[in-house]
Amino acid sequence: MNPQQQSLLLDSAAQFPLPQGVKFSYGTSGFRADASILESTVYRVGILAALRSIKTQAVIGLMITASHNHVSDNGVKIADPGGEMMSQEWEPFADSLANASDSKQLLQLIVEFVEKENIQFGGRGAEVFLGRDTRPSGESLLEAAKQGISSIVGAVSVDMGVVTTPQLHWMVRATNKGAKAFEQDYFDQLISSFRCLVDLIPQGDRGNNQEKLIVDASNGVGGVKLEVIKKSIHGLNFEVRNAGKEGVLNDGVGADFVQKEKVTPHGFGPADVGIRCASLDGDADRLVYFTALPNSNSKIELVDGDKILSLFALFIKEQLSILEEANKVNNSYQAHLGVVQTAYANGASTDYLKQTGLEVVLTPTGVKYLHEKAADFDIGIYFEANGHGTILFSSNFLTWLDGRVNELGSTGKGSEQLKASLRLLAVSKLINQAVGDALSGLFLVEAILQHMGWSIHKWNELYNDLPSRQLKVKVVDRTAVVTANAETEVVSPPGIQEAINVLTAKYPRGRCFIRPSGTEDVVRVYAEASTQEAADDLASSVAKLTDQFLGSH
Ligand SMILES: CC(=O)N[C@H]1[C@@H](OP(=O)(O)O)O[C@H](CO)[C@@H](O)[C@@H]1O
Ligand SMILES: [Mg+2]
């Protein structure tokens, strides 16, 4: 690093002092905190993004959002060249940068890291795409990010404006693949692949497309984008509520609220009972469906990420079996389909998926783990119960599919196989290949429901969720809980797992695990059993146990 670069960094960093008494940690969702203390963090993540871009020789994304959290919070995270979350190898560097006490220490950390990683300045420079959600603090934090990026000589930032998190990831991925990546290109891809799926629905099966869908947009960026898409999309009748014009972001609205509270969000009333509704979170990377129950005090039937996954898996399996019929003759590609869940997936969903003959893999909580695992398959479908997920297609499989389409299209034969291939290709374009995306997920759900001719009720009846309960326990040191087997077993402190097993065995269909949260200073307890009372009981007795073993605050 030359002296000119070093003095540029020193001068610029001095304008973003670290707030007193806070410790930042790059968790499952990047850095997150009250927006008022985040300027230095976002500035430093700007530097990090520029370095990452030089290292990878590719465009990197920097997103300013705190997703479903309170409107006064904000956060920042990095998208890697393929649009995925930043490599975990760089997380410790992110942590030390964010916590460097002054500009001298910051510079020293950067100099050492640049040397260790052999980051070569003076090549093609760095390019960072910036995005932010609708939070009012986003604008000033964006300035901090720009300053961080421009403190690296030759680095440039491109402001994508107010976008959903998945849009920014998509733009990074598309640009690095040499494709067009403006917002309009994203919309065009969603709209045309949705259209393609709807046009491929066998005649006579189109039933439910006139039934209205209502989308709760959490008063966030997803609502703004849906209103734009609504102007150009055909074949779907939907209304956007909580679009951000009046209400407060994530306040009694949105996917996180609906999934946790299991009641209708603000803006929904008795007139909506029985209607198919969807809910996005604040940065539109989570999606759940619900329908309000009659005479029930706003209670809902929740159709969560597990059921979205099940719907996608069924549809894809159906298309693959059409192709496999033909493969018996052609002896060609055997696509490896797999689904990825976490321990929070409802046990009934895992049983259902296995019974349908699907390969199910569990990973620890956090999208980066699920995404990585899903990428091992030709078609890997992953979802967290909270509604974050997507479908990944391997490039080998897509190349094979393209070839199939050309072959079948030119001979005019095998129209069922041609349609199945075209459907799978359309799904690969509709669904975001970079990260879970509520908008693309929503259009895929809608296309599949139309294809199946299913109502939300029929979809919800795929299986019945086991009653479950989640609790949080504040302990002295949550890192004392060490887990194994995708967080389903505690290996330390010793003895606690045996005690959990004894309690769990008392309840029919009992299942229970504890793990330290990656985003809050708590240990989470999850329990499920055949009745709600039993699930509640099991959760509270394991919470007590956790408290006994780990001591409360
Ligand atoms: C039980 C639960 O919902 N956990 C969430 C939550 O992680 P925790 O590590 O449990 O705090 O936030 C993550 C980031 O948004 C999300 O990936 C995850 O699913
Ligand atoms: Mg989110």
Chain segment 502-546, per-residue pLDDT in tens: 999 999 999 999 999 988 889 999 999 999 999 999 999 999 999
Q: The tokens of 422 are what?
A: 């075209």
Q: How far apart are CA 551 and CA 553, in angstroms?
A: 7
Per-residue pLDDT at 552 exceeds 70: no
Nearest partner of 176 among 243, 124, 219, judged by Cα = 124
Specify the DSSP class assigned to residue 93. H
Alpha-helical (H) ranges within 262-394 are 305-330, 347-355, 367-374
Query: Closest ligand 1 atom, CA of 522?
Result: 11
> For ligand 1, what atom is nearest to the CA of residue 518?
9
Asked if residues 94 and 75 have their Cβ atoms less than 8 Å apart, the reply is no
- Angle formed by the axes of helices 138-150 and 39-56, to 10°? 50
Look at residue 123 and tell me whether its pLDDT is greater than 90. Answer: no
In this structure, the residues whose C-beta lies within 6 A of any atom of ligand 1 are: 28-29, 344, 365-367, 384, 386, 517-520, 524
Percent of the chain with pLDDT over 90: 90
In order of 3, 44, 61, the CA distances from 9 in angstroms are 10, 10, 21
Residue 342 three-state SS? strand
One-letter identity of residue 410: S
Chain-centre distance for alpha carbon 334: 28
Q: How many CB atoms lie within 10 A of CB 56?
A: 16
Give CA–CA dist 476/178, Å, rounded: 50
Tell me if 514 sits within 8 A of 481, measured CB to CB. yes
CA-wise closest residue to 462 among 368, 340, 355, 334: 355
Rg of the Cα trace of the chain?
A: 24
Flag whether 519 is marked binding. yes
pLDDT at 28: 80
Residue of 100, 95, 99, 101 lying closest to 78 (CA atoms): 95
The whole-chain average pLDDT of the chain stands at 95
Instruction: Enumerate the active-site residues.
Output: 67
pLDDT at 207: 53
**Which residues keep their CB under 5 angstroms from ion ligand 2?**
67, 281, 283, 285
The pLDDT of residue 553 is above 70: no
Q: Check: CB of residue 209 under 8 Å from CB of residue 236.
A: yes
Residue 474 φ/ψ, nearest 5 degrees: -80, 125
The two tokens of residue 404 are: 């199939």
**Residue 108 forms beta bridges with which residues?**
none
pLDDT tens digits along 343-382 = 999 999 999 999 999 999 999 999 999 999 999 999 999 9
What pLDDT, on the 0 to 100 scale, is given for residue 205?
A: 55
What digits encode the pLDDT tens for the residues 17-38? 999 999 999 988 899 999 999 9
pLDDT in tens, 152-176: 999 999 999 999 999 999 999 999 9
Are 167 and 132 in contact by the 8 Å Cβ rule? The answer is: no
- Nearest by Cα to 469 from 527, 423, 552, 540: 527
ipTM: 0.98
128 burial class (0-12, 13-18, 19+ CB within 10 angstroms)? buried
Which residue minimizes the CA distance to atom 12 of ligand 1?
Answer: 519
Expressed in angstroms and rounded, the spacing between residue 344 Cα and the centre of ligand 1 is: 10
Q: Which amino acid is at 429?
A: K
The CA distance from 340 to 359, in Å, is 9
Own/partner long-range contacts of 288-292 (Cβ < 8 Å, ≥24 apart): 288/255, 288/258, 288/259, 288/386, 288/387, 289/445, 289/456, 289/459, 290/258, 290/264, 291/456, 291/457, 291/460, 292/264, 292/268
Q: Is the predicted pLDDT of residue 208 greater than 70, yes or no?
A: no
